[in-house]
Amino acid sequence: MSDHLDAHVADPVFARLEREVIQPGLCTHCGTCVGLSQGTLHMVSTAHGPLPRPTGNGPVRLAPGAWEACPGKGVDYPALCRWLFGQLPENWLIGCYRHLYIGYSARPDVRRRGASGGVITQTLLYLLETGLIDGAVAVCQGRPHPWQAEPILARTPEEILATSQSVYAPVPVNTILASLAHFPGRVAFVGLPDQVAALRQLQRMGDPTARKVRYVLGPYVGTNMYFGAIESFLRSHGIQDVTDVAELRYREGEWPGYLQIRTRSGRVLRAEKFYYNYLIPFYITRSTRYSVDFTNELTDISVGDAWHPRYEAQGQGFSVVVARSQQGEELLQAMQRQGVVHLEPLALQEALSMHGHMLDFKKRGAFIRMEWRRARGKPAPKYGYRPQAIPFSRRLVEVVISGLFVLCGTRWARRAVEWVPLGVLGPLFNSLRKGWKNLSKPAKRRGLADTTFVVQPPESSPTAAVPMQPEQEA
């Protein structure tokens, strides 16, 4: 990658990003540096996700804030929590919050089109229809090509509805900062934890473009996969060229949904959500292995699937809804009074139990993986806090998990799995998944709820934080 840093494009900020984030494989593909580059950087597709590259349109120009906001090197969560919420989390597993709910959109069409309960889509519609925002940043599947997705600034209800559902491949949402700089109105922003963290860091530093965002929403995010997962799925069905895809939907149908791909010839490929997940160990992104934020802790409202037999048996779509900020809580209450969402109180322990394995994957597993990475002399993200202690039994579990990622990430393993029919592989993976969860549950759950986290002092003082509250008033 160093050949992209010729003398005519060298920039001290981008050179540092290249050296300490991109080359070591820590880029989260958020697109923040591209959005701040004044057109001198763009995202280029690679086997390891979209990565920033110079456009060649003159020297790269990045302000120091592009380094401070980069989530690939890590962001200081304690500092951002103090600035955003005025306190540290009482429970580090879920982050700062005011209330927890089980919820869903009261509009059946919105609820069905969403990845689970349609709460994020419904919230964006409400904000736009009540004039609280003039546009919403969200990801739209099928643009610019049917198999791709890109961030858009939705300005109509129809455009917002087009962004329903999840996309399980890296999409550099924060590249849209370049377009947002010229947008005159107020904006809502839907992003993954790394994208939200970068945005919040920019807001904290007083970036005028980032401060156009008045409401921040986001989904829970466990693992993400490189687009190679879709290409592998296609090859396993005898399709070698991704341009044969006419439509791609990651969570089609009734919750929990299924992957659905339509080809130009009219062929329809489907895989239940939990069957399609067999590709996770083969194509999991590096960044999600080192992310410690599962519940999107820096949003105003975050939303996840309500994985519980009581809700799964009903279908239709139910979400865990986390009201984090005061304005997020007030927004949810207003929506409930207007009858556009249905919300029921949810106890903290029940909310945590719905995602116990993934919380452990992030809040202990990620710290183990980063510790091992540093022991090998490689850089790793720093988040400003860490678990005080992790049991040896949990470390042994991580040996198996990380070993599986290494094995499945090899070229021969990826190719071999394409020869196994989905009708065999899907149920087999689901059975193995359930068996592994039951086998590892004692070690993974033991002590998780009682884990003590230690706040670490910052290594340097970033640009002084600018109060946000006056900007957030609607």
Q: What is the mean pLDDT of the chain?
A: 92
Residue 362 has pLDDT above 60, yes or no: yes
Give the model's pLDDT for residue 116.
87
Give the model's pLDDT for residue 473.
37
Give the model's pLDDT for residue 471.
39
Give the model's pLDDT for residue 434.
75
Q: DSSP label at 284?
A: B
Give the model's pLDDT for residue 468.
61
Mean pLDDT to the nearest integer, 40-61: 95
C-alpha closest to that of 214 among 182, 163, 180: 180
What is the DSSP pairing of strand 301-305 with strand 319-323? Answer: antiparallel
Mean pLDDT to the nearest integer, 10-35: 96
Token representation of residue 405: 């990622």
Tell me the three state secondary structure of residue 352. helix
Give the model's pLDDT for residue 459.
64
Residue 443 has pLDDT above 90, yes or no: no
What are the pLDDT digits (tens) for 263-297? 999 999 999 888 888 999 999 999 999 999 999 99
Contacts of 9 (CB under 8 A, 6+ apart): 40, 54, 56, 59, 60
- Look at 114-118, 336-340, 406-410 and tell me which has the smallest mean pLDDT: 114-118
DSSP H or E run through 82: helix 77-85
Contacts of 273 (CB under 8 A, 6+ apart): 251, 256, 257, 258, 259
- What global pTM score does this model have? 0.94
Residue 427 has pLDDT above 80, yes or no: yes
Token representation of residue 467: 């109060």
Give the model's pLDDT for residue 150.
97
Spans of all domains in the chain: 2-73
Contacts of 333 (CB under 8 A, 6+ apart): none
Give the model's pLDDT for residue 440.
66
Give the model's pLDDT for residue 433.
75
What are the pLDDT digits (tens) for 444-471? 667 898 899 999 887 654 555 677 653 3
The C-alpha angle 147, 316, 191, rounded to 5 degrees, equals 45
Distance CA 358, CA 372 (A): 20
Which is higher by pLDDT, 435 or 188?
188
Give the model's pLDDT for residue 2.
44
Give the model's pLDDT for residue 4.
44
Residue 126 has pLDDT above 90, yes or no: yes
* Cβ neighbours of 253 (radius 10 Å): 15
Q: What are phi and psi of 388, to 5 degrees?
A: -65, -35
Give the model's pLDDT for residue 445.
66
Mean pLDDT to the nearest integer, 250-262: 91
What are the pLDDT digits (tens) for 363-389? 999 999 999 999 999 999 999 999 999
Contacts of 195 (CB under 8 A, 6+ apart): 28, 30, 31, 32, 71, 173, 174, 218
Give the model's pLDDT for residue 340.
97
- The answer to whether 422 touches 275, Cβ cutoff 8 Å, is yes
Percent of the chain topping pLDDT 90:
81
Percent of the chain topping pLDDT 70:
93
Residue 9 confidence class, pLDDT cut points 50, 70, 90: low
What are the pLDDT digits (tens) for 84-114? 999 999 999 999 999 999 999 999 999 998 8
Edge-to-edge strand ranges of the sheet holding 135-141: 149-154, 135-141, 187-190, 213-219, 301-305, 319-323, 99-105, 341-345
Distance CA 372, CA 246 (A): 42
Q: What are phi and psi of 320, to 5 degrees?
A: -80, 130
Cα-Cα-Cα-Cα dihedral sign, residues 350, 354, 360, 362: negative
Give the model's pLDDT for residue 444.
62
Give the model's pLDDT for residue 349.
95
